[in-house]
Amino acid sequence: MPNILILGGTTEASALAAALAERGLATTLSYAGRVANPKPQPVDVRIGGFGGVEGLAAYLRDAGVTHLVDATHPFAAQMSANAVAATAQTGVAHLALTRPAWVPEAGDRWQYVPDIAGAVVALAGPARRVMLGLGRMHVDAFAAQPQHHYLLRFVDPPREAIGLPHRDIVVDRGPFTVESDTALMRAHAIDLVVCKNAGGRGAEAKLIAARALGLPVLMIDRPHLPERTEVHDVAAVLRWIDHTADRGV
């Protein structure tokens, strides 16, 4: 019988966990631990890191994992790279469940930058009102551009001081709607949106709102990842599990 480890923290991971629970398959959903109160899940849950490639490989062996599904955020580059290396070491079947990247549509005003550092550099210049759609992890990097007034949206209240002299903080949990994001941007007089190219439906409301309001978007490209097999929906993961289980993987 398959014994599945999901590397999670995304809506896709939760949807997969629900589908596997319906099938009665042994499944563990692993969180990195950055969200204080993750939503309840119908499968076993573990929280915290593994200790690099060797730690993940040891976990896969010790837990008897047969299938690893990497359903982490598209920007969780280190975890995804570790998953590729650890499954290669152990022979565990490996698949990535990820979101297709966003592509601009008519009316979008996107400027691409390669990473967070590139976004910080691109914000040089006069003060603006900037919505940082990045979560908590990378906010402090923007202290290098303190002239701007930043709008920050977090899932949980921040535990540490935010190193930005001018900022507003909104604590809210998605999915967000175009109407609510449009209203939020208007209320805070936003004139630039900064976000990662996360893809998917759950976080694109801010892009549609920016398009409707004619706002420019500073779009951070996805990190480079090792070669791996990717699918974009839960049904494809279930077919893969069925196929590899039939082959005795």
Task: Say how far residue 173 (Cα) sits from the centre of its chain.
Answer: 14
Residue 35: the pLDDT is: 62
Percent of the chain with pLDDT over 70: 96
| Amino acid making up residue 67 | H
Indicate if the alpha-carbon torsion angle 108, 114, 119, 122 is positive or negative. Answer: negative
Residue range 110-220, CATH number = 3.40.50
Specify whether the CB–CB gap between 85 and 53 falls below 8 A.
Answer: yes
Residue range 3-100+224-246, CATH number = 3.40.50.720
| Higher-confidence position of 89 and 159 | 89
Q: If you average pLDDT over residues 129-134, what whole number do you get? A: 95
Kindly report, residue by residue over 14-40, the tens digit of the pLDDT: 999 999 999 999 999 999 876 656 778
CA distance to 93, 131, 137, 184, per residue, from 153 (Å): 36, 8, 12, 10
Domain ranges for the chain:
3-100+224-246, 110-220
Residue 248: the pLDDT is: 55
Q: Does residue 249 surpass a pLDDT of 60?
A: no
Which pTM was predicted? 0.86
Give the strands of the sheet with 67-70, arranged side by side: 44-47, 26-31, 3-7, 67-70, 93-97, 230-231
Residue 174: the pLDDT is: 75
Kindly report, residue by residue over 57-87, the tens digit of the pLDDT: 999 999 999 999 999 999 999 999 999 999 9
Q: Does the fold of domain 110-220 match that of domain 3-100+224-246? A: yes
